Amino acid sequence: MVRKIGFRSAIIEAIREEMLRDTRVFMIGEDIEYFYPALKEDFSERILNTPISESAMVGVGVGATLNGMRPIVEIMFSSLLPLCMDHLVNSARMICYQYGGEVTCPMVVRASIGATGRGLGLHHSQSPESFILNAPGLKIVMPSTPYDAKGLLKSAIRDNNPVVFLEHKLLREKESSIPEEEFIIPLGKADVKRVGEDVTIVAMAQMLHKSLEAANKLHKEGISCEVIDLRTLLPLDENTIIESVKKTSRLITVQESPKAYGFGAEIAAIVAEKALGYLDAPVMRVANPGTPIPCTVLLEQAVIPSVEDIIRVTKEVV
């Protein structure tokens, strides 16, 4: 049996299934008892509201792993993640290293990302993955569909490493067909969401959907795009990218976060190191130009890559 469910339901299903499967899994976060009443009812003290204390919330999560639990910490907006950076960067990601592999830090930190076109403003609209990408020991997941979100979150909860799980707010409008039976999606494996011949477009989360829309339009103009959904930024599935570039000889990365030092730059570097000879055109990055996300919707949309931006850049290299 296949059902259509939305992004939020997919997330809740993943949490519910993993909490049933493993009594060590619990979740803390601001207002979560209000936002997840059914989980609260079924799991009681394993769903715990917190005061506004983001730093300690992640620190508490790390400490709970040291005493045998597997926490999920919900951080409402990813603009709050900088408050948690100390525990992510100085503790969580180093636990396994500090203990020489004897002890690990199986924690998931969930946070919403992205601009919505509804004027959420500078501090509720950021895409902060670049802040945390330079901290080996963390895994970073950014799903694009409810199906992927469910399978990836289940994997993240079972993973013995700290995982930052970034959920784009606009994905709450998406639906996926999801099987009744259990499934998981391994971390670190990209998914080719559209097969094509002329150019490889690498994207994630909401930018994946814009890239697919661009690919649709370009198809009508005779340009065949291969669209890769990375799904996991750390560890990065280099192989899928390189194999695709060997086929298409052209690469475009699309990200909502600022261009400089973003993941697009890393992918371009990897391709330069490992597949430069296959490239027939410069690698291009479609990204935020290097600004905060303004509140006014008109300005907000001016700094978020659009479908038209992706089409324009694709035509430059094909």
Residues of the shown chain interacting with other proteins in the complex, contacts defined by CB under 8 A: 26, 45-46, 48, 50-51, 53, 55-56, 58-69, 71, 86-87, 90-91, 94-104, 106, 136-137, 139, 159-161, 235
- In the complex with other proteins, the residue whose CB is nearer, 6 or 188, is 188
User: In the complex, what is the shortest distance from the CB of residue 54 to other proteins, in angstroms, rounded to a whole number?
Assistant: 8
Smaller CB distance to other proteins: residue 215 or 236?
236
Measured between alpha carbons, how far is 286 from 225 in angstroms, rounded to an integer?
15
Closest CA to 287 of 318, 270, 272, 265: 265
Structure tokens at 192: 């080719």
For residue 205, the minimal CB distance to other proteins (Å) is 23
- Reference 204, options 224, 218, 190; nearest CA is 190
Strands (E) across the chain are located at 2-6, 25-29, 47-49, 70-77, 108-113, 139-141, 163-168, 175-179, 191-194, 199-203, 225-229, 232-234, 251-258, 284-288
Contact (Cβ atoms closer than 8 angstroms) between residue 187 and residue 16: no
Return the number of the residue (159 or 198) whose C-beta is nearest other proteins: 159
- Tell me how far, at minimum, the Cβ of 266 lies from other proteins, in Å: 17
Q: How far is the CB of 86 from other proteins (least distance, A)?
A: 6
Shorter beta-carbon distance to other proteins: residue 106 or 262: 106
Pick the catalytic residue: 87, 124, 168, 209?
A: 124
Tell me how far apart the alpha carbons of residues 69 and 22 are, in angstroms, rounded to a whole number: 10
Q: Could you confirm whether 124 is annotated as catalytic?
A: yes
Per DSSP, 91 falls in state: I
**CA separation for the pair 38, 9 (Å, rounded):** 11
Amino acid (1-letter code) at residue 70: R
Cβ 187 to other proteins, closest distance in Å? 11
CA 172 to CA 12: how far, in whole Å?
A: 12
Q: Least distance in Å: CB of 33 to other proteins?
A: 13
Distance CA 178, CA 55 (A): 35
User: Which residues are catalytically annotated?
Assistant: 124
